[in-house]
Structure 1
Amino acid sequence: MGTTVSSGSPQRHLVLFNYEAWGHMRPMCNFAARIVKMQPTILITHFVTPTFYDRVQTELRRNFEDQESSLLERIRIIALPCDNTNPLDSSVLQKAFANAYEKLVNLQPVSCVKTEVEIKTTCSPDLVVVDFFGSAPIDAVRKASKKQVKVLFWFAGSATSLFCVGGPESQGGKGNLRTRSQEVAKRTCISIEEAAAQITLTGKGSLVRLPGLPPMYDYEIQPQRLIAPLALLGGVSLRTSDTMEACDGIVLATPECYEIEAIAALRDWLAGSSRPIYACGPLIPSGAQAVAFEKLQSSDAAKVESFLHAKLTSHGEHSVLYISFGTIFFPLEPEKLAAFLEIAVEKKVPFILNHTSPYIPLPDFVTDKLSSYSDCMATGYFVSHAGHNSVIEAITEGVPLICWPFLLDHATNAARISDRLQIGYELFQVRTGPGLQPAYRLGKAPEGTLEAFVVEAQQVLSKALGDDGQRRRANAQRLKQQIMQVWGENGQSQKAVEGFLALIGNDDTRQGFFSSLTTCS
């Protein structure tokens, strides 16, 4: 039997909901921490999945010092049942959220399936933030609520990529994706999900101009062959578009100074329906606990730290390549990764390779791997898929990137990093599938062969280690300085969260919270 915990009598109640994706949950954990530090009387109920329950708890602890335990207690984590046999099927999780939310509205206890603890509350929700393809949870909130409760759209990806699933066509967007998908499905006798995928991912060679990015062909949003069924990805795009249409506003886990033009364009788009946008990034813990609890998450932490300090001594500052493709992705052509590592060895560049994807096994040629990252002065470049969380962590530390993108915001981030901001490079010869069509910025199609990749990798690493790399590192450091200001008094992200809190109501105990971002560089 589980025990029972009572939350007391908070003044306001914020509900957060994530699907089963760590890249969505992690910044939301840090968003929740910011909220309770800025408004300590608020109660937060964060619904997650059992798989990530422990990681969420650890990530939250990274935000709080020992004397702040009372603030941490304002955040209740509740794991909801989901389909563990098929994490891509969210129907069970969505039904569980609807049931749990209705219980919160009726002041009934909600059970956490991970701990078997019943969580009580004495006030119903005042504001809800749902994950970016949560149109069904929005419907559930509006059906069950007994008072007006605004529901905001949570997006942990690049703001620019939202134009790949919606937004005005005049700004490179897809327009009303559901309407367009229905028309294509009817005309071609395919499912609406397949039609949505055709519109958002395949492209026909049209030139698009997304806000703040160089022109590119529409198919360049998908520079690699797909690792999931087309209909599945189309369904995600469709639900994302539906959620954007249905929500009362958007919360972005990105700093405004990174995507100035895209966020301005989003504001213009939503202004027509009087819906706000809150750009609240970077959402990264800082302080002593942040480092301590991060090390606890990896058994290799001590090994990594020792390696980095050794290379700092032997090779100097900014000498190590950190190579990671996130929790899902990994190169589909491992021979290219092997060639890249061989080039690094030839150039006497030390590296750390992180592999966490459950879908693509670690190649046989890798005999040892290190799986944790430390923001040490030894880190020179981050070789990344350019997923948004990875990008935000890198630019917050002023570390330039070498981008190996796979889809959607990877592609938009890579273009922004290499061309618009010039804080890194993009690899074109890693492209596969639709990515082997002409690339607008190259003026031709990438060959995509191993030989062509070796030439490109040699050139990119030579530039990165030379004067051009120093210039791009300086650009990254300047961006870092801008980011360090966003959580200061009157900083962009600080003001954004203050605006968000205005939706839920202020009280006399609200306190300001200004923190500087700690770095090792």
Structure 2
Amino acid sequence: MPAHLTDYDFAAIPEEIYVDGTRRQGRFKDEILEQVALACNGTDRLSGCVVQCPGIPDMYGYERVVYAAGALQGITQLFVAAQKLIKHVDGHIVPTATCFEPVTVPYCRELYKKRGQELFTVGMQAHELCWTDAAPIPPTNEVVRSFLDRAVAQYGARSILYISFGSLFFPLTTPELVEALIDTLLTLEQPFPFVFALGGELASLPDELIKRVNASGKRPICPFWVKQRAIL
């Protein structure tokens, strides 16, 4: 929130750059907007600055956004709309809690208080089974479930690698690195069983690679949604 909804005007900065022929450098306005949102420092370029935000470790500006994801797929337009809206709201409701972020939540609450706005935290959303002592529910997919049972029986507990880039990100600009990771795991002298979940909209791997890995029956790549908690 401090990075994208506080300090910089993602609508005005690209406009300022675009009308300057020297700074525009032949780019379309949307391209400039994407680069301004990625840099998130008031310009369209990374500066090598160290980003400091209470509650999280200091980091370089280039570490704040995962560049391997490529373009932000229209998310920047949401930032622009949110920045306009945030000037007129009375408060913010966020899905977190002080027990999860004991430093950052009070910091953000104080930050927006100076703007006359309140910050309400409503906790994490999770199924009620996450908070009970009931036996864990195994994956409903038979391929995943049987693989996990075999791998645990053969290699023991905590021997399986779970790979997932989540639902909003996939390294689209560097697919060769993902393939290199898979090839490395397949050729290790000591077997390293893994489950690779491709549940996100952007997630994809070559069909040939998926078929080759899945044909072995040892390390499934799942081009469908899998229940992360069930796997864990």
* 1:210 equivalent in structure 2: 53
- 1:177 partner SS: coil
Q: What's the secondary structure of 2:63's corresponding residue?
A: helix
Where structure 2 has 5 or more consecutive residues not aligned to the other structure, the ranges are: 40-45, 215-220
Partner of residue 340 from structure 1, selected from 181, 198, 203: 181
Q: Percent identity?
A: 21
CA contact (8 A) 1:304 1:374 kept: no
**Distance verdict in 2 for CA 1:164–1:200, change over 3 Å:** farther
User: Is the CA contact 1:270–1:276 (under 8 Å) kept in the aligned structure 2?
Assistant: yes
The alignment status of 1:186 with 2:25, answered yes or no, reads no
Q: How does 1:5-404 map to 2 (within 5 A)?
A: 162-167=1-6, 175-177=7-9, 181-182=11-12, 185-186=15-16, 188-189=18-19, 196-202=33-39, 203-225=46-68, 227-228=70-71, 232-287=74-129, 301-332=141-172, 333-345=174-186, 346=188, 347-363=190-206, 364-367=208-211, 368=214, 369-370=221-222, 371=224, 372-373=226-227, 375=229, 379=232
What one-letter code is carried by the residue in structure 1 that aligns with 2:161? L
After TM superposition, give the deviation of residue 259 of structure 1 in Å.
Answer: 2.5
Give how far 1:163 is off. 1.9
What CA distance in whole angstroms lies between the structure 1 residues aligned with 2:121 and 2:168? 25
Question: Kindly tell me: are residues 262 and 199 of structure 1, through their superposed partners in 2, closer, same or farther at Cα, counting changes over 3 Å?
Answer: farther
The AA in structure 1 aligned to 2:16 is K
Contact kept, 8 Å, 1:197 with 1:234, in 2: the verdict is yes
Change beyond 3 A, Cα 1:176–1:374:
closer
> Does the 8 Å contact 1:194/1:234 carry over to 2?
no
SS of residue matched to 1:251: strand
Q: Residues 270 and 233 of structure 1: is their aligned pair in 2 closer, same or farther, counting only changes over 3 Å? A: same
Work out the CA distance in 1 between the residues paired with 2:93 and 2:72.
29
Change (3 A) 1:365 1:220: same
Aligned partner letter, 1:215: D
SS at match of 1:278: strand
Cα separation, 1, equivalents of 2:156 and 2:60: 41
Q: Tell me how many residue pairs correspond in the alignment.
A: 201
The answer as to whether partners of 1:304 and 1:373 remain within 8 angstroms in 2 is no
- Partner Cα distance (1:219, 1:282) in 2: 28
Q: Report what 2:217 is aligned to.
A: none
Q: Distance in 2 between matches of 1:279 and 1:187?
A: 37
Contact preservation (8 Å) 1:196, 1:238: no
Normalised to the residue count of structure 1, the TM-score between the two structures is 0.34
Shift of the 240–200 alpha-carbon distance from structure 1 to 2, 3 Å rule, reads same
Structure in which a larger fraction of residues adopt helix: 1
Note the 1:504-519 alignment, pairs <5 A.
none
Question: Is 2:168–2:200's contact at 8 Å kept on the other side of the alignment?
Answer: yes
TM-score of the pair, normalised by structure 2: 0.69
Q: CA deviation at 1:283?
A: 0.7
Amino acid at match of 1:340: L
Distance 2:184 2:160 in 1: 14
Structure 1 unmatched ranges of 5 or more: 1-161, 168-174, 380-521
User: How far 1:229 sits from its partner (Å)?
Assistant: 6.8
Counterpart mapping for 1:396-475 below 5 A: none
In 2, the alpha carbon distance for the partners of 1:279 and 1:192 equals 36
Structure 2 counterpart of 1:375, which letter? R
Do the aligned partners of 1:322 and 1:353 also contact (CA within 8 Å) in 2? yes
Distance 1:234 1:330, change over 3 A: closer
8 Å contact kept, 2:69–2:170: no
Superposed displacement of residue 318, structure 1: 1.8
Q: Does the 8 Å contact 1:249/1:276 carry over to 2?
A: yes
